[in-house]
Structure 1
Amino acid sequence: MPQFWAGSPELPVSGFIIRAVFVYVYIFVLLKILGQRSIMSLNPIDFLFAVIIGDVLGETLSDGEIRLSGPFSSAGVIAFFHLSLSYIALKTPRFRRIIEDEPIILIKNGKILHEQLRKAKITVESLMMDLRSNNAIDLNQVDYAVLESNGQISVLKKSKYDSLTPADMGQEPESKGYPSVIIQDGHIIDANLSKFADRAWLRKTLADHGFRRAAEIFLLTVDETGKVYISDKESSSIGEP
């Protein structure tokens, strides 16, 4: 059994380095199996999982005497349990309400619900801060404020204070779609370029913006309407046709 795996009081620095690589890859695989999740949308169960996994595997990076098989097995069982809970919650709404907090309405029809604030343990100052971060400085404009299960506060403004949209003006602008990266740090991404045009189009686009080579570009993107964004490596200038 390799020393870095079995552990030893005399584990060399190289053993700790190999352990670090194994732990990193192992956690990476676990996260890929569990699925993609935004850091901002972590619910309490996800947070608990992250803390436990970090504690179980983190000690192996500082204590060379610990055998890796134990922490790896424990982390695998915890990941399986967490995945099972997530799957059951997905399939069973009633069980989902047990492991995930229900949204709490803090402001309804423009009125602050004091009892709900106390229930959520949110001070008025904290509520005001979250409203400001949602661009809702004027309380007279707020219709609803909801504390989501991930701890974020969603704000719905009264209809008359909604921003004017092209649809409100009877216009139907073309969808911009998702911008694709064509050049990144001087390298052309041919897989993305082929979706829009060819190298000849790219050379012309660069020339129109005063560039001769892709190596001069830090980032070039294009959306589905053909709108181009360019940022060069030297002065970070931006160009649009």
Structure 2
Amino acid sequence: MLDTILFDGWKSVLRIAIMSLLAYPFLILLLRSSGKRSLTNVNIFDFIITVTYGATLGSIITSDKVSFADGAVVLFMLTLLQYIVSKLSVNSKGFTQMIKASPSFIYRNGEFDEKSIQKHRIRKDDLRGKVRQQGLSSFEQVEAIVLEGDGSLSIIKKQEGLSKDALENVK
């Protein structure tokens, strides 16, 4: 029993090697042909697609119940769905609002937005760290902290006399 756990024969090893040589380059080709956006995590749908690519590739390579053709169709369909969603999000503001989170103020005008901090489960210590990473020593030097739609934090430094038009669509 222990010997089948450690080594089950050359047939499965050879299958994994061949499937790796077929599936991995196929996925690379598919991603390169679908454009750069497929490789970014802009919204939750893009994140799901990225994770699913990895899970699918792993299944194609390791499962003897998944043929290369089956796996290729799954990878192609995921890429097609991602392409359709990205096209719709570029051409439809309503669709974009449905799939993409909007930015939120976490800090502005010298005050933390406690409701937003609680809603998004953000710790003030994490905000302090982000402020320090920007080379700032005090929140007095910060105009605003924005939680972006992709989950990243943007620190806007105070600067007198400059337009704040980048903050227009933040809630």
TM > 0.5 between the two? yes
Quickly say closer, same or farther: Cα 1:66–1:10, change in 2 above 3 A.
farther
Q: Is the 8 A contact 1:57 1:71 kept in 2?
A: yes
1:142-171 CA-to-partner distances (Å, cap 9, x unmatched) read: 0111111121111111115x9xxxxxxxxx
Indicate the structure whose relative CO is greater, using CA pairs within 8 Å and at least 6 residues apart: 2
For residue 38 of structure 1, report the CA deviation from its aligned partner. 9.5
Query: Which residue of structure 2 lines up, in the alignment, with residue 132 of structure 1?
Result: 132
**What is the alpha-carbon distance in structure 2 between the residues aligned to residue 95 and residue 144 of structure 1?**
28
Quickly say closer, same or farther: Cα 1:141–1:40, change in 2 above 3 A.
farther
Q: Is the 8 A contact 2:146 2:155 kept in 1?
A: yes
Q: Secondary structure at the match of 1:159?
A: coil
Quickly say closer, same or farther: Cα 1:52–1:41, change in 2 above 3 A.
closer
Larger Cα-atom Rg: 1
Quickly say closer, same or farther: Cα 1:69–1:39, change in 2 above 3 A.
closer
Letter aligned with residue 64 of structure 1: D
Query: Which residue of structure 2 lines up, in the alignment, with residue 20 of structure 1?
Result: 20
Q: Secondary structure at the match of 1:21?
A: helix
Query: Which residue of structure 2 lines up, in the alignment, with residue 112 of structure 1?
Result: 112
Q: Is the 8 A contact 1:40 1:150 kept in 2?
A: no
% identical equivalent positions: 22
For residue 33 of structure 1, report the CA deviation from its aligned partner. 2.8
More strand per residue: 1 or 2? 1
Which structure 1 residue ranges, 5 or more long, are not aligned?
1-8, 163-241
For residue 12 of structure 1, report the CA deviation from its aligned partner. 5.0
Quickly say closer, same or farther: Cα 1:29–1:121, change in 2 above 3 A.
same
Give the alignment's TM-score, normalised by structure 2.
0.78
Query: Which residue of structure 1 lines up, in the alignment, with residue 167 of structure 2?
Result: none
Query: Which residue of structure 2 lines up, in the alignment, with residue 35 of structure 1?
Result: 35
For residue 100 of structure 1, report the CA deviation from its aligned partner. 0.6
**What is the alpha-carbon distance in structure 2 between the residues aligned to residue 129 and residue 108 of structure 1?**
17
Give the alignment's TM-score, normalised by structure 1.
0.57
1:14-36 CA-to-partner distances (Å, cap 9, x unmatched) read: 43222112111111122213322
Which structure 2 residue ranges, 5 or more long, are not aligned?
1-8, 163-171
For residue 60 of structure 1, report the CA deviation from its aligned partner. 2.1
**What is the alpha-carbon distance in structure 1 between the residues aligned to residue 86 and residue 39 of structure 2?**
16
Instruction: Within 5 Å, give how 1:58-207 maps onto structure 2.
Output: 58-160=58-160
More helix per residue: 1 or 2? 2
The number of residues matched between the two structures is 153
